[in-house]
Structure 1
Amino acid sequence: MVLKWRWCIQMSYETRPQTYDETIKILEKKDYRGIAEFILPSVKDAEEVSLEHTQLSVPDMREMDFLTRVNMNSESFILHIEFETAYKSNTEMMKRMLRYYTYIKWHNDLPIYQVLVVLKKPENIKNIQGSFESTVQDLDILKYNYKVVKAYEIDKSEILKEGKVVLYPLRVFMKHDEIDEEKHIEECLEEVEKLEDKDYYFLTVECIKKLYKESKYEKYVKEEILMQSSLYREPYEKGIKEGELKGRREEKIETTIRLLTKKFGTMPEEVKEAISKLDLVTLELMIDEIFEYKSLDDIKKYIQ
């Protein structure tokens, strides 16, 4: 059984370089509010936190990791989080974050709070920067900054104290000065093994593989626990595809209800229930036409 698991690790890196990005997406779907509150603690007091569409058309760039709309104390803004394990240079990262900012702003005119979470300590970068200024002929052209969170400087025990289960797999990347690497990996696996949802065990293993690519620690992985995860039992690609479709549909339901409420006021519960049963294509059609509606009667063709 160990040999089988070892082979799976090798194959995942040879054929599935995007696996880690999928890991972040799964954690987001499990508890996106928990992630938002960890990165920005004041979100705990928010009246509304809702997932936003992250598949914006950004040429030559991967999909954004995490995008939510936050309504808090009469202020609305977009929270954008990127998780990075291979930090190459300040210049490259700033350009990437600025391109994301530009595309988010193009599609949504709300203020944007950007956060970069660096999971793995860079080998050649001593000072991670999160801001720059551009001046031409003594004229201030641009001042740009985003918050930088260094996960590898966070004490992993703090995550357990706060009970942020959605972050348990990411504890693999966090500070563990008091114990060596092997003991650290063993402890991280033991904590997620206690959880009822075995997907967290599977996702912790994925994080281990990202941090320790030579797979030195497979001896600590219990395949009988790993196999209890739905992510292990089902074909991974199929699970991701279905999860993405379900997640997109849920996002569209929330967006449709939010926009209609903003336009017409409090929505009748029966209307909300009817919208929640619509398919993805119908929801997208409703959103496209939402600014043409004069009253709620205009949406009856979709919900009857």
Structure 2
Amino acid sequence: MADDIIEYFLKLKLTKIEELNLEFTTVEKRQSDMIFKCQTEKGNIAVHIEFQSTNDKKLAYRMLRYSIEIIEKYELFPYQIAIYIGKIEPKMQQKIKYEYEDTNKLEYNYKLIDLGELKFEEITNTGYYDLYSLLPLIDRKKRQEKGEEYIKDCAEAILKTPIDTDRKKDIAFYAEIFSGLMFGEQEVKKAFEEVVRMLDLQESSIYKSILEEGKKKGRKEGIKEGIKEGIKEGIKEGIKRGLKEGKADTAIRLLKKKFGKLTKEAEEKIIKADNEVLDKILDNIFTIEKIEDLDKY
């Protein structure tokens, strides 16, 4: 999804993308949502993507601090984007500016994108299919007017994409989670039951069992609450309420859903992992691109 976000929203043509691992220990006891080193036609830059679900009056200051740490550690100037996924319109400042004489100046701003302002057709006409997982969060006016019918529109759009079934399942998986931020549980369940039915019955039954078991153990609710509180940090806090065995089980099931299967070595590593490692795996479940990425944890 990161590639599509960068190319569509930032209008950058990527030749190579590499995820960077930067924990902002000096300014925030949290990890930023996504930081990437990107090779573009204009040279190397860092791209920092932050998801925001509430109107945080201090976001501009936090983004500035992140910017400084990225420059200090990687010697790359960051292109920063905050993606707002809240129900109401954003009211956050995007700029910090001051000037004392000619020697003390600062003018800083980041890019803020309100998904609610985007029209449904803007995404479905792009050809960036990974962005379809964000459909439940866009077009604030239409989703308020149509209610449950809007979720069905999102599900149908995913089904109609000209991509392979496994990729559709991944997109539907994230879309269902994001739908829970805007709509009631029963509305979401009803809309995505049709998606599940249409996509490989045997595989979809496993998918449903993962979500149901995760819900019983508090995992899915932890993810939902996590996204509401600020994506990854909230997910970490939500999942902390679960037991270590439940975390390992959920991580294994979600990774099997994403990659089809796991090696015995990978499963054993997850089972033996401590709470901190399991939290990191679950925090980054959206951005893990291949099984080998688990070696980072």
Q: TM-score by structure 1 length?
A: 0.61
Q: Determine if the alignment matches structure 1 residue 52 to structure 2 residue 20.
A: yes
Tell me, yes or no, if the aligned pair for 1:199 and 1:229 is still in contact at 8 Å. no
Unaligned runs of 5+ in 1: 1-30, 253-278, 282-304
Distance in 2 of aligned mates of 1:101 and 1:163: 31
* Greater mean alpha carbon deviation, residues 143-152 or residues 205-214: 205-214
Are the structure 2 counterparts of residues 172 and 74 from structure 1 closer, same or farther at C-alpha, using a change threshold of 3 Å?
closer
Picking from 21, 33, 40, the partner of 2:10 is: 40
Are the structure 2 counterparts of residues 227 and 142 from structure 1 closer, same or farther at C-alpha, using a change threshold of 3 Å?
farther
Q: Determine if the alignment matches structure 1 residue 209 to structure 2 residue 180.
A: yes
> What does residue 187 of structure 1 align with?
153
Deviation at 1:84, TM superposition (A): 1.2
* 1:157 aligned counterpart, secondary structure: helix
Picking from 63, 82, 94, the partner of 2:60 is: 94
Q: What is the one-letter code of the residue matched to 1:236?
A: T
> What does residue 159 of structure 1 align with?
123
Distance in 2 of aligned mates of 1:68 and 1:153: 26
Are the structure 2 counterparts of residues 163 and 143 from structure 1 closer, same or farther at C-alpha, using a change threshold of 3 Å?
same
Q: What is the one-letter code of the residue matched to 1:118?
A: Y
Tell me, yes or no, if the aligned pair for 1:84 and 1:119 is still in contact at 8 Å. yes
Instruction: Give CA-to-partner distance per residue, 1:107-156, whole Å, 9 cap, x none.
Output: 11111111111122436x5x443111023467543111111111111112
Instruction: Give CA-to-partner distance per residue, 1:254-283, whole Å, 9 cap, x none.
Output: xxxxxxxxxxxxxxxxxxxxxxxxx659xx
Picking from 77, 83, 86, the partner of 1:120 is: 86
* 1:167 aligned counterpart, secondary structure: helix
> What does residue 275 of structure 2 align with?
none
Distance in 1 of aligned mates of 2:37 and 2:21: 10
Picking from 59, 63, 72, the partner of 2:40 is: 72
Distance in 1 of aligned mates of 2:133 and 2:51: 13
Aligned ranges for residues 1-304 of structure 1 at < 5 Å?
A: 31-41=1-11, 43-44=12-13, 46-57=14-25, 60-89=28-57, 92-122=58-88, 127-136=91-100, 140-175=104-139, 177=141, 180-194=146-160, 196-197=165-166, 198-212=169-183, 216-222=187-193, 224-225=196-197, 227=205, 229=207, 232=211, 235-238=249-252, 239=254, 241=278, 244=284
Distance in 1 of aligned mates of 2:99 and 2:173: 48
Deviation at 1:68, TM superposition (A): 1.3
Distance in 2 of aligned mates of 1:213 and 1:59: 36
Aligned residues: 219
Distance in 2 of aligned mates of 1:185 and 1:152: 14
C-alpha RMSD of the superposition:
3.3
Distance in 2 of aligned mates of 1:55 and 1:250: 21
Are the structure 2 counterparts of residues 95 and 227 from structure 1 closer, same or farther at C-alpha, using a change threshold of 3 Å?
farther
Instruction: Give CA-to-partner distance per residue, 1:7-53, whole Å, 9 cap, x none.
Output: xxxxxxxxxxxxxxxxxxxxxxxx43222112211x22x33222222
Distance in 1 of aligned mates of 2:290 and 2:189: 34
Q: What is the one-letter code of the residue matched to 2:153?
A: E
Q: What is the one-letter code of the residue matched to 1:51?
A: E
Distance in 2 of aligned mates of 1:200 and 1:249: 18
Unaligned runs of 5+ in 2: 198-203, 215-248, 256-277
Distance in 1 of aligned mates of 2:54 and 2:183: 13
Deviation at 1:168, TM superposition (A): 0.8
Identity over aligned pairs, percent = 22
* 2:80 aligned counterpart, secondary structure: strand
* 1:200 aligned counterpart, secondary structure: helix
* Greater mean alpha carbon deviation, residues 240-249 or residues 162-171: 240-249
Q: TM-score by structure 2 length?
A: 0.62
